[in-house]
């Protein structure tokens, strides 16, 4: 070989932990991962508590996380990752059908259904190697046709130690707060999540959520009423909300056009 010929770069290495209460499932996934030299399995756990111990000690790049486990399901691990910087990526591994699993796409790198197929796993590894582009780059990948969530899909919401699953249609509005968003639910509850409004705009159904301003998405089915307060201000009352949201004339016009 010509010494001036550049040596091909080695693939990036990703330190991985497998979390599943079934040893045979872990063995199956390990065998599938052997064909991916960029993956280094550094630990295994059979429940949430042992998984947390491993994560805090080893600080992996990626966790393959089973959902249905005894005592605590896989979601119980997520709040325990809040203190890690950076937080590991999550790939859910589950026997749920695809309809339910779409909920997890907004909050995880990917999902895999059991038994894990080599082709599907290869797509997951590719996503790990090529993370989603930023808000200043290409359009959010979820905005591509057929990849958005639908009204009846479930979505996982996380706020510090709280994790809850809600239907997309139960989200009344989303407000931008810097790199965070405030999620307003129809029943009046609110959560803060470290996701941008741009992120949610790419995930939520465009026929249900109207972008009223650069800092506000509104579920048009959650609008209880809009009241004009003066020449320049409107009040938006959402279903179950304790306090109204203040809108400008332009914002109210955009929302009324979407109703």
**CATH number of the domain where residue 207 is located:** 2.40.50.1020
Q: Are residues 30 and 67 in the same domain?
A: yes
In a domain, 141, yes or no: no
For the cut 80, the answer to whether the pLDDT of residue 9 exceeds it is: no
Mean pLDDT of the chain: 83
228-258 pLDDT tens trace: 999 999 999 999 888 999 999 999 999 999 9
In a domain, 108, yes or no: yes
84-143 pLDDT tens trace: 878 888 888 888 665 455 555 546 777 788 889 999 899 888 877 654 433 333 444 444
The bridge status of strand 190-193 relative to strand 39-45 is unpaired
For the cut 80, the answer to whether the pLDDT of residue 34 exceeds it is: yes
In a domain, 58, yes or no: yes
In a domain, 119, yes or no: yes
Q: Report residue 60's pLDDT band, with 50, 70 and 90 as the boundaries.
A: very high
What is the extent of the structural domain holding 197? 149-258
Structural domains in the chain (count)? 2
Distance set, CA 19 to CA 47, 82, 114, 194, 233 (Å)? 7, 18, 14, 24, 52
Q: What is the CATH number of the domain that holds 119?
A: 3.40.50.2300
Q: Are residues 101 and 179 in the same domain?
A: no
pLDDT given at position 72? 85
Q: Report residue 161's pLDDT band, with 50, 70 and 90 as the boundaries.
A: low
Highest mean pLDDT among 36-50, 79-93, 151-165: 36-50
pLDDT given at position 35? 94
In a domain, 90, yes or no: yes
Q: Are residues 124 and 153 in the same domain?
A: no
In a domain, 139, yes or no: no
Which of 95, 129, 163 marks a domain boundary?
129
Q: Report residue 68's pLDDT band, with 50, 70 and 90 as the boundaries.
A: confident
Q: Are residues 53 and 18 in the same domain?
A: yes
Q: Give the residue, 180 or 101, on which the prediction is more confident.
A: 180
Question: What b/e readout covers 113-131, taking b as 16+ CB neighbours within 10 angstroms?
Answer: ebebeeeebeebbeebeee
Confirm whether pTM is higher than 0.75.
no
Q: Are residues 30 and 125 in the same domain?
A: yes
Q: Are 109 and 62 in contact (CB under 8 A)?
A: yes
Which of 73, 100, 129 marks a domain boundary?
129
């Amino acid at each position: 070989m010509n010494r001036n010929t550049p040596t091909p770069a080695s693939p990036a290495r990703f330190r991985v932990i497998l979390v599943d209460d079934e040893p045979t499932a872990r063995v199956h996934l390990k065998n599938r991962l052997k064909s991916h030299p960029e993956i280094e399995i550094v630990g295994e756990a059979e429940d949430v508590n042992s998984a947390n111990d491993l994560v805090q000690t080893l600080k992996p790049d990626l966790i393959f996380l089973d959902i249905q486990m005894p005592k605590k399901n896989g979601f119980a691990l997520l709040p325990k990752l809040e203190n890690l910087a950076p937080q590991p990526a999550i790939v859910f591994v589950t026997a749920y059908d695809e309809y339910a699993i779409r909920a997890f796409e907004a909050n995880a790198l990917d999902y895999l259904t059991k038994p894990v197929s080599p082709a599907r796993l290869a797509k997951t590894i590719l996503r790990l190697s090529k993370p989603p582009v930023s808000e200043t780059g290409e359009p959010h990948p979820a905005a591509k046709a057929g990849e958005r969530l639908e009204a009846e899909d479930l979505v996982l919401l996380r706020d510090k130690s709280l994790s809850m699953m809600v239907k997309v249609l139960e989200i009344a509005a989303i407000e931008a707060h810097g790199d965070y968003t405030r999620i307003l639910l129809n029943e009046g509850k609110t959560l803060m999540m470290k996701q941008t409004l741009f992120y949610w705009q790419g995930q939520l159904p465009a026929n249900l959520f109207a972008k009223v301003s650069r800092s506000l998405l509104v579920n048009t089915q959650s609008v209880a009423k809009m009241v004009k307060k003066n020449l320049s201000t409107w009040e938006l009352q959402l279903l179950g909300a304790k306090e109204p949201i203040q809108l400008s004339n332009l914002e109210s016009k955009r929302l009324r056009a979407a109703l």
